[in-house]
Amino acid sequence: MRKHQDILRQSGQLAVAVALCIAAMLAVYALAGYYTTQVLVGALIGFVLAMGNFLALSITVSNALDRAANGGSPQKAQLEIQTSSVVRPVVLVIFYILIFRAKLCDPVAAILPLLFAQVSLKLIEFFRKDPAKSEKDGDSTP
């Protein structure tokens, strides 16, 4: 149950960070005079795909590590994670090609949330409090 809480907590943090970045992107589009419904649709699609990609990665890694820790083969877990790292981007590319061919949204507004997610993950990780370090320093507050 703890692993699901961690995934949900991280997903929530990422969702807030990406949503803030998308809000800034939409403000820039509006200030530049290029805001349209296609931009909004692109931002929404990009948000859903970015969050789906993160959740797929988190669940795959978590399940693979659990199986390896419970007596499974570490090589099989590694292969599962590597396969996911190939399949997820291919699925994303297919989705984007279909969406862009159907002219459903603004391509830039749909792709930027993926980049926002990557930057947000790096920033969240950089500012994350390391519980092991705070215990070493004598500070046991979470």
Q: How far apart are CA 41 and CA 119, in angstroms?
A: 22
Percent pLDDT > 90 in the chain is: 70
Residue 1: what pLDDT?
57
Q: Considering only 12-26, 93-107, 108-122, 123-137, which range has the smallest mean pLDDT?
A: 123-137
Contact in structure between 39 and 26 (CB atoms under 8 Å): yes
CA 80 from chain centre, in angstroms, equals: 19
Mean pLDDT over each residue of the chain, to the nearest integer: 90
Q: How far apart are CA 25 and CA 14, in angstroms?
A: 16
Contact in structure between 83 and 60 (CB atoms under 8 Å): no
Please give the model's pTM, rounded to 2 decimal places: 0.85
- Of the candidates 31, 30, 51, 48, the residue with the CA atom closest to the CA atom of residue 39: 30
Q: How far apart are CA 83 and CA 70, in angstroms?
A: 21
Q: Average of pLDDT values for 114-128?
A: 93
Residue 128: what pLDDT?
83
Residue 119: what pLDDT?
96
